[in-house]
């Protein structure tokens, strides 16, 4: 954790900022190891302080040994934070403007420092994953693979979308997930055209394609995978759409390499879908980074200015969504390396036809 804090301060010092106020749950965990958001971190070149109330002081000492734990009031009042900032001699302090409520900001705006909004810069310290982080991501994906492999032996026509989602959530935990990375998405038949369908009471029917988007969280790290399966034989157009999405995903994976433009990667998959005549039905970006957050930098879209550097992560998830008919999305998690990438997903992508 000391190395992570030093990396943060190197970024901030380049802009003449001498301290950071960390308040988001993700970054509290990343920089200190503390797994609750009932805390505030103050980080400087020479000081690392974790402020929390009596309920969490033992936990913080165990989880964040590189930080000095200071017991505060339950609300962590501004004057308690101000005392630490003054003691550390902070004049210009970075803060996470992207995560603060108006109420929280009003609590902090009178602190005796110049507050500098720095959310993107702070978040990007997490861009390049360590070996430990990659191992956690691999484990999270292996849990997802195992859960899906068992799920396809259970799914059948007549099940509701909600029953499929509930079964998958159970299997994720059975195979070792601490929790879901996000709420499981199951969209069957016409509901598959809803990119982020909420599982409901619709029953799976013969001829449906079913879009299943899910992930496991392990030691705080997220996986994110989508597979689309068929219930019985789908119509010719749905089979055609599946083939186009698979071709687009494989083309993007074939093109993926370290230090390439994320926009370029998006363009590879988008070009395949557009050439096939379905361009307007692929309305979301090709992918996003993942780690302690399910969505984090870099972002692969038609407007992205990000570069896929070694150690960064990216999902590759093209899709086609036809209103009234259905949808297809296929998604893998990838980690860039110095000379290529690792595809963390081991689940096959040929269309699975279930009864």
Q: What does the pLDDT profile of the chain (355 residues) look like in tens digits? A: 999 999 999 999 999 999 999 999 999 999 999 999 899 999 999 999 999 999 999 999 999 999 999 999 988 889 999 999 999 999 999 999 999 889 888 888 889 999 999 999 999 999 999 999 999 999 999 999 999 999 999 999 999 999 999 999 999 999 999 999 999 999 999 999 999 999 999 999 999 999 999 999 999 999 999 999 999 999 999 999 999 999 999 999 999 999 999 999 999 999 999 999 999 999 999 999 999 999 999 999 999 999 999 999 999 999 999 999 999 999 999 999 999 999 999 999 999 999 8
- What is the C-alpha to C-alpha distance for residues 163 and 105, in angstroms, rounded to an integer? 42
The β-bridge partners of 40 are 51
* Cα dihedral value 253, 255, 256, 257, nearest 10: 150
Q: Just give the CATH number of 131-354.
A: 3.90.230.10
Class of domain 2-126: alpha beta
Q: What is the pLDDT of residue 351?
A: 97
Cβ–Cβ < 8 Å for 289, 127: yes
Cβ–Cβ < 8 Å for 180, 215: yes
* Cα dihedral value 117, 85, 125, 315, nearest 10: -60
Sheet holding 332-336, edge to edge: 313-316, 332-336, 341-343
- What is the C-alpha to C-alpha distance for residues 123 and 11, in angstroms, rounded to an integer? 11
Cβ–Cβ < 8 Å for 326, 225: no
Tokens of 165: 């989602």
Q: How do the domains of the chain map onto residue ranges?
A: 2-126, 131-354
């Amino acid at each position: 954790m000391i190395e992570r804090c030093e990396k943060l301060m190197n970024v901030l010092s380049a802009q003449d900022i001498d301290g950071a106020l960390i308040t988001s749950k993700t970054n509290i965990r990343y920089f200190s190891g503390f797994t609750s958001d009932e805390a505030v971190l103050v980080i400087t070149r020479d000081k690392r302080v974790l402020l929390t109330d009596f309920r969490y002081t033992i936990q913080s000492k165990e989880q964040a040994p590189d930080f000095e734990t200071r017991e505060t009031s339950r609300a962590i009042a501004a004057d308690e934070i101000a005392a630490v900032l003054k003691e550390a001699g902070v004049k210009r302090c970075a803060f996470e403007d992207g995560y603060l409520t108006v109420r929280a900001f009003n609590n902090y705006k009178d602190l005796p420092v110049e507050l500098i909004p720095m959310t993107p810069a702070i978040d990007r310290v997490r861009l390049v994953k360590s070996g430990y982080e990659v191992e956690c991501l691999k484990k999270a994906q292996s849990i997802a693979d195992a859960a899906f492999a068992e799920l396809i032996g259970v799914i059948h026509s007549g099940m509701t979308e909600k029953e499929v989602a509930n079964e998958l959530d159970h299997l994720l935990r059975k195979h070792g997930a601490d929790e879901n990375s996000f709420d499981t998405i199951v969209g069957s038949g016409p509901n598959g055209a809803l990119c982020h369908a909420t599982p409901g009471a619709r029953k799976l029917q013969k001829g449906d394609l079913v879009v299943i988007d899910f992930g496991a969280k392990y030691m705080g790290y997220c996986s994110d995978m989508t597979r689309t399966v068929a219930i019985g034989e789908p119509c010719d157009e749905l089979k055609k759409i599946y083939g186009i999405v698979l071709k687009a995903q494989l083309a993007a994976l074939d093109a993926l390499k370290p230090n390439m433009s994320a926009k370029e990667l998006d363009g590879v998959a988008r070009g395949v879908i557009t050439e096939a005549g379905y361009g307007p039905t692929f309305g979301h970006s090709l992918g996003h980074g993942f780690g302690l957050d399910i969505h984090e930098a870099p972002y692969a879209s038609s407007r992205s200015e990000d570069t896929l550097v070694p150690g960064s992560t990216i999902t590759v998830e093209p899709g086609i969504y036809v209103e009234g008919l259905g949808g297809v999305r296929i998604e893998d998690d990838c980690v860039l390396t110095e000379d290529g990438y690792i595809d963390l997903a081991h689940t096959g992508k040929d269309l699975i036809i279930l009864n």
